Structure 1
Amino acid sequence: MAQQAETARTERPQATAAPRKRQARGERRMAELLRAAGEVFAQSGYSAATTNAIAARAGVSPGTLYQYFPNKDAIADAVAEQYTTELRAVMDSVLGSAPQGMPLPELLDVIIDPLVAFHIAHPACIVLFVGPDSPQHLTELHLPLHAAMLERIGALLAVLAPQLPAERLQRSAEVAVHMFKGVMPLVLASAPQDRPAYVAELKLTFEGYFGLLLDLP
């Protein structure tokens, strides 16, 4: 009896090891599929992307992909949710507070560089959220984050230019967000060795716009 009890104790951890390994493999496979889907959406656009192309990019069969996602819409939803969570974290980090006394060019480095790095690492972000063929529900998923970004930028400008009325700060925040989204496709489409030059042009645009804005009476 004692020997049987000891055998049961030694076998019990082994019984749970296999499900944990399968779960870890499943999580890795899920991450691989989401990464591949982001690359395919970025390259082909939402409408032209196919589950076969995503499976091929991930190095799995279509049947394996369907074990995790029933269709392309479900994959896009998962990618969009991941992007939303991660982008909010980046936004909270770079727009959480305005460093006091920091020169405008340095402030733009602090804000723009992490946001550009995020979009380079998540190339389908613009395609899924503001692309011309993006499904309406994905655009709506992005709206709370978009509103939060406008609020954060408006608050930052209020610190930098307290003399400006609230409605002017709100309009300027809207312009700033659309400027960034408008230029990012150009940055992403450029060759890696050319991207720093395009990012520098983006910062120069913001420096000129914000510089004039902060000098307004």
Structure 2
Amino acid sequence: MDSTSSSRNRTALEPKRDLGRRRVAALLRAAALVFQERGFEAATMVEIAARAEANIGSLYRFFPNKEALADALMQHYTEVLQQGFEAIAAQARTLSPEALSDLLIDFLVARHAQTRALSALLDSRAESTLTRLQIRAQALAGVKAALVACAPHLGSTEADAESIAAVVLNNMKTMVGMTLKDAPTSAGAPDELRFMNRLYLAQRLGVAR
């Protein structure tokens, strides 16, 4: 194995003390900002260390390369999304389709600050194709679980539940783009999308409730 492959395969160091955990958290926040602003390829370890007001040696101590930094961020984002979807599924049993719709449509927007570099990493990293598919599958499963909790009859029609979840997930992603002005929008467009999603779920989940 050459030195480049060896470096890329090295993993992040797990801090054992509170001071180390706080330092790692600061480094990850800085990395997320730099990746979001400049993209994965353009970002440098020097720039990330400077943004964190940390010594470059401290950055390399915990993260041997940018890949290790990105992997740590992706793992964190996966956990944030999983916890959020589980919380919605737990509430969904007592919610109307319209109330569930509102929770779902704003889900990714509400968590943007916690997952700000997600799109940049997925879009920029050539090796992230599998990760992109895994996170999309995770999100689709999370939406589906919430829908079935709200409308148990969907559990007997897997294809319908998956199709509805896919539509809602795409609406959720569109809402992020509209909110961040990354997608064509106008002042009233997010409210229109929210209204459309309510009508859609009220019709699709309301059957047999």
TM-score band by shorter chain is: 0.7 to 0.9
Aligned match of 2:148 in 144, 148, 155? 155
Q: 5+ unaligned residues in a row in structure 1: which ranges?
A: 1-21, 191-195
Secondary structure, in 3 states, of the residue corresponding to 1:182? helix
Moved more, 66-75 or 53-62: 53-62
RMSD in angstroms over aligned alpha carbons?
3.4
Distance 2:58 2:124 in 1: 30
Contact 1:105–1:207, Cα closer than 8 Å, also in 2: yes
Identical counterparts, % of pairs: 29
Distance 1:24 1:163 in 2: 44
Greater relative CO (CA pairs within 8 A, separation 6+) = 2
Q: Tell me the residue number matched to 2:175.
A: 183
Higher Cα radius of gyration: 1
Q: 5+ unaligned residues in a row in structure 2: which ranges?
A: 1-15
What TM-score comes out, normalization by structure 2 length? Answer: 0.72
Does residue 1:96 correspond to 2:87, yes or no? no
Return closer, same or farther for 1:121/1:205 CA change in 2, 3 Å cut-off. Answer: farther
Cα distance, 1:211 vs. partner?
3.4
Distance 2:110 2:30 in 1: 18
Q: Tell me the residue number matched to 1:127.
A: 120
What TM-score comes out, normalization by structure 1 length? Answer: 0.70
Q: Tell me the residue number matched to 2:80.
A: 86
1:49-128 to 2 correspondences below 5 Å: 49-100=43-94, 102-128=95-121
Cα distance, 1:128 vs. partner?
2.9
Contact 2:35–2:43, Cα closer than 8 Å, also in 1: yes
Contact 1:90–1:115, Cα closer than 8 Å, also in 2: no
Cα distance, 1:30 vs. partner?
0.1
Deviation track 1:125-169 (CA, whole Å, cap 9, x = no partner) reads 23334x36462343255255235325314524643x659943222
Moved more, 181-190 or 59-68: 181-190
Distance 1:206 1:38 in 2: 31
Give the residue type in structure 1 aligned to 2:142.
M
Return closer, same or farther for 1:61/1:162 CA change in 2, 3 Å cut-off. Answer: closer
Does residue 1:172 correspond to 2:170, yes or no? no
Distance 1:182 1:175 in 2: 11
